[in-house]
Structure 1
Amino acid sequence: MRYKLVFTIFLSFFLILVFFLFKIQVIEHSQHKEFINSLMQKTILTKGNRGTIFDRNGFKIAWSKKIPYIEYNSNIDIESLKPYLTDKQILDLISSGKAYLDNYQIYELEKLGLYIHYEEKRFYVPEAFHIVGYVNSQGIGSSGIEKTYDSLLQGKIGSELIFSSPSGKVKQRIIQTEPENGEDITLTLDLNLQKYIYDEMKKINNPGAVIVENVKNGEILALVSYPNLEENFYDIDKFTWQKIVNDPSNPLLNRATMGLYSPGSAIKPLIAIAYLLSESTSATLNCTGRYEYKSSSGKTIAIFNDWLLSGHEETDLIKALRVSCNVYFYTIALEIGIDKIKSVADIFKISDLTKIDIEEKSGIFPSREWKEKQFKTIWYPGDTILTGIGQGYILLTPLEILNFYTTIANNGKTPRPHLLKSEKVEYTNEVSLPDKIWNTINEGLLEVTTYNDGSLKNRGTAYLSFKDAPYKIAGKTGTAEVSKSKKAHSWFAGFGPIEDPTYSVVVMFENGGSGSEMAAPFARKVFDYLLKGVESNE
């Protein structure tokens, strides 16, 4: 009886098992097959390459490559890979879980059933680092052109269906959606000019910035900040990165658009314009080499020296621009006052953002209200005197100075400086002044580079740099004092050829000393390249 009961129970369980096996394998076969297959398939998202950035002549400035690699997983047999990988690749695979491949290795590893991944790597021309910028670890533009035009450059997502064996080997790959590369863009930059300027700055090895602009349409042909990040951004290890971050010369700073500096005498044309708008005729004075600021009772309160202590003697406005006579500009600045100077600075938008298509800082052109808000104190006559020679509280970027000189070159029209190539010219400002004022300023700036009577008191401050040039440049040197313990910032800003201005150039060297001795000779090299066809333009 007990035997029959056990047999009946066993038979019942056996029949139930047979039933469920039949149900799973026959009745529900398609359903379970779909489930099993789903465990051996997955969708992988892929992304197209980021767009290439070209210079105006078609040279690559930033571009991407897809670098193949394999990832370690529990199904990988390291021994089976040794015939196909180098010892270093095996070590990388074991230690980091990833091994980069050479193209010739891909086919053999795919035959083994391994899935080949691709990592996008971005490459840059180092001399253009501050212009192009970089992307972050997610491939999103984080600075420069990469950030501004990220939406254009970004590659589009695609997808791929992968079928694997139970052991994890790839059996089949089906592309569902093709990834698309991002758009290529062309910049106004002339890479040869950019490299030439950078290499020349490297020889000097002094921090600074140089910008070249087409005055007719605002195209930036070169924008160099030295020093630069010359290492490949994505190959920098933590030790090197800390060294770069702590470098006192600050190679990560784009001095051309983000550095704020006292402009020194480079600002004097603005003071001259403010004066000519106040006076029908410009005064002539005797420069003795010093200016005495006196009280209403005639008592000398402060003495301000000229850069030429022996003085420039009889000086009018044109000569004052030519020889950069501080005494003349002390005098006229105090005569017209800070309110008038500030109003003219605002007409030229001299401290405003220029709207260039990379990061920039706005400058500071002080006023009574600004000083009171900033320092909780009143504006003094001495502040106006220093403003007249570009000292005191004025801080501007090299790009803002360039924008001002481009406006002079165009007799008041300011094209927006830009790096993306475009047929459209956009103007950000238009200053309407009498032709007489433009002519006076241009004459003074031309004499800076061309006038010489053999005496230091009368010679143009940039004459020695441009004396044998086969073209004529209008420009201004600047020597901006920063502290007694450091050299002055060295400036030159100008445009040419004077008959039909095409290029404007600004040169600034941090603590480079006199504008006549450092910035002006460097500007001569740049104008030679542009107008004489030297170096690679020969």
Structure 2
Amino acid sequence: MNSKVYHKIGIFFTLTFLCAVGIEAAPKFSYSYLDEAVKEFESKNSTSSVVLMEMDSGKVEYIYRPEIAVSKKLPPGSLVKTFSALTLLKYKDRLRFSPEKKVLCKGRFYPKENLTPTKSDLNTFHLPQDENGKEYLRCSLAKGHGEMDLRSALVHSCNVYFLTSASSDPDLFYSKLYEDWSLGKSTRSRLDSYLEPSDTNFTSISSLRKVAASIGEGGLLLSPLKISQLYSSIWKEGPRLSPYWAVSQEPVRSEENPYSRKDLRWIISVLSEVPKTGTLRDVHSSEKEDLEILGGKTGTGTKFMHKYETHGWAVLSFRKDRKSYVLTVFVDNGSGGNQAKSLAAILLDKIDSKTKDSAIKSGK
């Protein structure tokens, strides 16, 4: 038996062992009935992962494919625009930023001379050229959004707005985005036996990638669990909590929230518009009173070093049975506005239907 065969056998038994450990470690969730819905979705689309977290405690109430949700870091795309918005608001004086000032979006962001793409940038970004040979980054709408202020740019996910705003001082913007959101750190989760990726230090990257970080591009990588933790801290206006799933465990603070209540509440009000008029509109019927959507955001992240392939994301907050939750959906080979939104809608309908069935059986 040659070395290649031994190597393949070794990989097989390693993967088998890891899967067995994962199955034993994950608890039996009350939302495990969602598994079949996700599997059916995957059969028609691609590999997906889901995290459902209770906001006030940080308890993970449901997770699908924890080997992805906990252990992998992926490009989050436009989900980062919420973080960028809060960063711009907090440092508006130093960044010479005003949330009321409008930026004209014609569908293209042309990098200035100080943002000239490096060789690495050309391998990372899809940079089409216009009729004059000038390279640019595309917006989410090919023809542009027109005039955008911060509120409208976040609701309608305008790339040009955030790229323009971050380009006023790429170094300052990126350093504050990276540090305040702890983008290089894990969530300090307690989800045995799944391990989070190791912490990373602030890295030296090109100015264009620092600006592109404002829209979640350029190599920025976050896990679905990290997204859940950060968005939860926004909606509950509180500290970042260490995710856990064991009944015997208690909430533990991982980090404080560095943003003011005023800015957080403003952002929350903007995110509440996304399911009504933005990229998550009609994700769930507002007529259903058992489950109330509080807000959300979609994202389409470009796979790092695969500039023509994308991941799909959706994150939203909802209230059910007097508790508030964050639902994070990741779809490989997808987009936020299509596949990820579709899976989120399916899961919300399943949760809502289950709630109604339970209420009927209990005679409420």
Q: Could you say which TM-score interval applies, normalised by the shorter chain? A: 0.7 to 0.9
**How many residues are treated as equivalent by the alignment?**
317
Contact 2:106–2:143, Cα closer than 8 Å, also in 1: yes
SS at match of 1:393: coil
Contact 2:52–2:325, Cα closer than 8 Å, also in 1: yes
Contact 1:495–1:501, Cα closer than 8 Å, also in 2: no
Alignment correspondent of 2:182 = 349
Alignment correspondent of 1:412 = 238
Shift in Å, 1:329: 1.0
1:286 is the counterpart of 2:104: yes
Partners of 1:494 and 1:519 in 2: CA distance = 11
Alignment correspondent of 1:321 = 154
Alignment correspondent of 1:158 = none
1:474 is the counterpart of 2:295: yes
Partners of 1:193 and 1:473 in 2: CA distance = 23
Deviations 1:317-365 (A, max 9, x none): 1111111100011112222424443334333334422223232333777
Contact 1:188–1:221, Cα closer than 8 Å, also in 2: no
Alignment correspondent of 1:308 = 141
Give the structure with the larger strand fraction.
1
Shift in Å, 1:205: 4.7
Shift in Å, 1:525: 2.4
SS at match of 1:418: coil
Q: Judging changes above 3 Å, is the alpha-carbon distance between structure 1 residues 450 and 363 closer, same or farther for their aligned structure 2 residues? A: farther
Q: Judging changes above 3 Å, is the alpha-carbon distance between structure 1 residues 145 and 419 closer, same or farther for their aligned structure 2 residues? A: farther
2:58 to 218, 243, 257: 218
Partners of 1:217 and 1:525 in 2: CA distance = 25
1:497 is the counterpart of 2:319: yes
Q: Judging changes above 3 Å, is the alpha-carbon distance between structure 1 residues 532 and 272 closer, same or farther for their aligned structure 2 residues? A: farther
Q: Judging changes above 3 Å, is the alpha-carbon distance between structure 1 residues 189 and 467 closer, same or farther for their aligned structure 2 residues? A: closer
Runs of 4+ in 1 over 6 A off after TM superposition: 363-366
1:530 is the counterpart of 2:351: yes
SS at match of 1:473: strand
Partners of 2:86 and 2:323 in 1: CA distance = 20
Contact 1:364–1:393, Cα closer than 8 Å, also in 2: no
Q: Judging changes above 3 Å, is the alpha-carbon distance between structure 1 residues 416 and 203 closer, same or farther for their aligned structure 2 residues? A: same
Partners of 2:323 and 2:169 in 1: CA distance = 31
SS at match of 2:137: strand
Shift in Å, 1:537: 4.6
Contact 2:42–2:48, Cα closer than 8 Å, also in 1: no
- Counterpart AA for 2:344: A
Q: Judging changes above 3 Å, is the alpha-carbon distance between structure 1 residues 383 and 284 closer, same or farther for their aligned structure 2 residues? A: same
Contact 1:492–1:520, Cα closer than 8 Å, also in 2: yes
Contact 2:315–2:326, Cα closer than 8 Å, also in 1: yes
- Counterpart AA for 1:215: M
Alignment correspondent of 2:75 = 262
Alignment correspondent of 1:361 = 196
- Counterpart AA for 1:332: S
Deviations 1:437-474 (A, max 9, x none): 112211221111112xxxxxxxx011142365632331
SS at match of 2:268: helix
Shift in Å, 1:198: 3.6
- Counterpart AA for 2:154: L
Shift in Å, 1:202: 4.1
Alignment of 1:413-432 (within 5 A): 413-422=239-248, 424-432=250-258
Q: Which gives a bigger RCO, structure 1 or 2 (Cα 8 Å, sep 6+)?
A: 2
Contact 1:364–1:395, Cα closer than 8 Å, also in 2: no
Partners of 2:285 and 2:104 in 1: CA distance = 27
SS at match of 2:52: strand
Contact 1:294–1:302, Cα closer than 8 Å, also in 2: no
1:441 is the counterpart of 2:267: yes
Contact 2:57–2:251, Cα closer than 8 Å, also in 1: yes
Partners of 1:402 and 1:515 in 2: CA distance = 16
Deviations 1:502-534 (A, max 9, x none): 11011011112x211111121122233334546
Q: Judging changes above 3 Å, is the alpha-carbon distance between structure 1 residues 197 and 402 closer, same or farther for their aligned structure 2 residues? A: farther
Partners of 1:423 and 1:261 in 2: CA distance = 28
Q: Judging changes above 3 Å, is the alpha-carbon distance between structure 1 residues 308 and 501 closer, same or farther for their aligned structure 2 residues? A: farther
Alignment of 1:479-490 (within 5 A): 479-482=300-303, 487-490=309-312
Of all paired residues, the percent bearing the same amino acid is 23
Alignment correspondent of 2:8 = none
Shift in Å, 1:501: 6.3
2:329 to 496, 507, 527: 507
2:41 to 201, 226, 231: 201
Deviations 1:7-56 (A, max 9, x none): xxxxxxxxxxxxxxxxxxxxxxxxxxxxxxxxxxxxxxxxxxxxxxxxxx
Alignment correspondent of 2:3 = none
TM-score, length of structure 2 as denominator length: 0.76
Q: Judging changes above 3 Å, is the alpha-carbon distance between structure 1 residues 200 and 469 closer, same or farther for their aligned structure 2 residues? A: farther
Shift in Å, 1:419: 1.4
1:521 is the counterpart of 2:342: yes
- Counterpart AA for 1:530: I
- Counterpart AA for 1:362: P
Q: Judging changes above 3 Å, is the alpha-carbon distance between structure 1 residues 339 and 356 closer, same or farther for their aligned structure 2 residues? A: farther
Alignment of 1:73-88 (within 5 A): none
Contact 1:133–1:147, Cα closer than 8 Å, also in 2: no
SS at match of 2:215: coil
Q: Judging changes above 3 Å, is the alpha-carbon distance between structure 1 residues 450 and 433 closer, same or farther for their aligned structure 2 residues? A: same
Shift in Å, 1:276: 0.5
Partners of 1:197 and 1:430 in 2: CA distance = 36
Contact 2:231–2:326, Cα closer than 8 Å, also in 1: yes
**Structure 1: runs of 5+ lacking an equivalent:** 1-128, 135-142, 149-186, 226-252, 372-378, 452-459
Deviations 1:71-118 (A, max 9, x none): xxxxxxxxxxxxxxxxxxxxxxxxxxxxxxxxxxxxxxxxxxxxxxxx
Partners of 2:111 and 2:331 in 1: CA distance = 32
- Counterpart AA for 1:409: W
Partners of 1:516 and 1:364 in 2: CA distance = 30
Partners of 1:196 and 1:336 in 2: CA distance = 47
SS at match of 1:349: coil
Contact 1:478–1:491, Cα closer than 8 Å, also in 2: yes
SS at match of 1:424: coil
Partners of 2:228 and 2:339 in 1: CA distance = 18
Q: Judging changes above 3 Å, is the alpha-carbon distance between structure 1 residues 385 and 445 closer, same or farther for their aligned structure 2 residues? A: same
1:400 is the counterpart of 2:240: no
Deviations 1:255-304 (A, max 9, x none): 111222111111111111110111164132111111122227xx997422
Alignment correspondent of 2:120 = none
